[in-house]
Amino acid sequence: MAEKRGRTLAEKVWDAHTVRRGEGAEPDLLYIDLHLVHEVTSPQAFDGLRLAGRQVRRPDLTIATEDHNVPTVDIELPIADPVSRTQVDTLRRNCKEFGVRLHPMGDAEQGIVHVIGPQLGLTQPGMTVVCGDSHTSTHGAFGAMAFGIGTSEVEHVLATQTLPLRPFKTMAVNVEGDLRPGVTAKDIILAVIAKIGTGGGQGYVLEYRGSAIESLSMEARMTICNMSIEAGARAGMIAPDETTFAYLKGRPHAPKGADWDAAVADWRELRTDDDAVFDAEVHLNANELTPFVTWGTNPGQGLPLGESVPDPAAIADETERFAAEKALSYMDLQPGTPLREIAVDTVFLGSCTNGRIEDLRAAAGVLRGRKVADNVRMLVVPGSMRVRKAAEEEGLDEVFTAAGAEWRQAGCSMCLGMNPDQLKPGERSASTSNRNFEGRQGKGGRTHLVSPLVAAATAVRGTLSSPEDLN
């Protein structure tokens, strides 16, 4: 019998949600506290329920929004694309039929599913949160176990409020030290992905720890957990602390009065025990980090902004070399070109990675009193209607429009180009989103992933830049 050891944060949350332990090869049955739904990955799941004559077991633990397809201009008009319109209408019908709360386009609480959950106070420490979207990992910033699922699993959760799953392995990602000015959470996570690779987190839940993580705001923590999936991990987590509690207190769905005290007492236990052992550990020194950008077609192909496009010939591993050659060909880049000399056509500020108020503030701080370069278009797409409203109350919209950027309505927008916000073939973007896959932002489009600060500086100079290049 193994010696009884302490447990990691992930193991504590898992244990607290185990309806039944699997025997032998059978998975555990895990209870789901919150199910987020959007229009793209749910229609076939609701159809499945109808075919089997099943109901939504817990509509009171389910919430839906329209985000992937919605246009970010003229939202008072019907959606022009008939296929998108049908998908959005289908969600509306399904939510009505099955009694699920929906925030439709134009609603004050509408927005990207991973922005509205935390904003409403629905995402809380120690919960299990799922959504038919891989960036559900975002919610792990609160110390929740949050992960993306496929449509069959969406149907399963709708019908049973549970999922059969085997426990994830645990990996500690220790980030110690202090970030230099101009270096952000986005740079941390891009550096983590470059270090462990796009497959490095497969099978793991990542727990981000260390002084650099503890000093981050909730928005910044969400940016980090959001991109855990880009390292192959289904989930990323950060232990809740005073920053977490302060963010939650007073939000519409946060506990109140005596419930608040009981909840906080419970949440304070959500830390990895000192004698717990992770299945794997990696370390990063925050002091050494600089702004990070991607040069290739997967999020692991990134480098500090001060470096140059790598030479595939220098890569020893055959598979990696081949991937780098293909990426440079697609991206139309030459080895040895300084990253700072790469010119872009478009700058996209937004997405569930970097579409929160703090991200807009950071970019606006760079753009204030400056202009977007003549040959660059910049789209600013708030993550939710509430973020948009908060930004307008602070006058950020005026900073963006005065600089020549477009101020849009809330949605996923150019992160994945399901709505009309897309790159044209051959166009190049600096994007605060999460994926630089071939064609992700539009067929033939080329994407460089960057932080909001780098996005704003790039918009001004027209080439990949950090704010210090503007002085």
Partner 1 sequence: MEPFTKHTGVGVPLRRSNVDTDQIIPAVYLKRVTRTGFEDGLFAAWRGDEQFILNQEPFRQGSVLVAGPDFGTGSSREHAVWALKDYGFRVVISSRFADIFRGNSGKGGLVAAQCEQSDVEQLWKLLENEPGTEVTVDLEAKTVRAKDFTAPFQIDDYTRWRLLEGLDDIALTLRHADEIAAFEAQRPSWKPLTTAQAAS
Please give the annotated binding residues, written as ranges: 352, 412, 415
> Smallest gap, in angstroms, from Cβ of residue 284 to partner 1?
22
Sign of CA dihedral 259, 264, 265, 266: positive
For partner 1, which is the closer residue by CB, 221 or 435?
435
With binding defined as CB under 8 A, does residue 319 bind partner 1? yes
> Smallest gap, in angstroms, from Cβ of residue 202 to partner 1?
6
- Could you say which of 253, 268, 340, 377 contacts partner 1 (CB under 8 A)? 253
Site for partner 1 in 351-370 (CB under 8 A): none
Site for partner 1 in 443-462 (CB under 8 A): 443-444
Sheet holding 428-431, edge to edge: 406-407, 377-380, 346-349, 428-431, 446-449
CA-CA distance, 185 to 292, in Å (whole number)?
10
Segment interacting with partner 1 (CB under 8 A) among 173-181, 186-194, 208-216, 411-419: 411-419
With binding defined as CB under 8 A, does residue 256 bind partner 1? yes
> Smallest gap, in angstroms, from Cβ of residue 45 to partner 1?
9
- Could you say which of 41, 433, 451, 463 contacts partner 1 (CB under 8 A)? 41
For partner 1, which is the closer residue by CB, 44 or 215?
44
Tokens for 457, please give them: 């500086």
Which SS3 state, helix, strand or coil, does residue 195 take?
A: helix
> Smallest gap, in angstroms, from Cβ of residue 318 to partner 1?
9
Q: Parallel, antiparallel, or unpaired for β 406-407 and 428-431?
A: unpaired
- Could you say which of 13, 95, 115, 122 contacts partner 1 (CB under 8 A)? 122
H/E element, 407: strand 406-407
- Could you say which of 8, 69, 346, 384 contacts partner 1 (CB under 8 A)? 69
Q: Parallel, antiparallel, or unpaired for β 292-294 and 128-131?
A: unpaired
Task: Give me the residue label for tokens 């185990």.
Answer: 18
> Smallest gap, in angstroms, from Cβ of residue 288 to partner 1?
27
For partner 1, which is the closer residue by CB, 233 or 357?
233
Residue among 447, 385, 386, 375 at smallest CA distance from 410? 385
Residues 6+ apart with CB under 8 A from 363: 349, 380, 400, 452, 453, 455, 456
With binding defined as CB under 8 A, does residue 323 bind partner 1? yes
Percent helix / strand / coil, the chain, rounded to 5? 40, 20, 45
For partner 1, which is the closer residue by CB, 43 or 210?
43
CA-CA distance, 469 to 307, in Å (whole number)?
14
Site for partner 1 in 142-181 (CB under 8 A): 148-153, 155-156, 159-162, 164, 166
- Could you say which of 27, 78, 106, 338 contacts partner 1 (CB under 8 A)? 27
Site for partner 1 in 78-107 (CB under 8 A): 81, 83-84, 86-87, 90, 101
Amino acid at 146: A
With binding defined as CB under 8 A, does residue 198 bind partner 1? yes
> Smallest gap, in angstroms, from Cβ of residue 47 to partner 1?
7
Helices (H), 205-283: 211-214, 218-226, 242-248, 258-267
In terms of Cβ atoms closer than 10 Å to its own Cβ (0-12, 13-18, 19+), residue 58 is middle
Site for partner 1 in 326-355 (CB under 8 A): 326
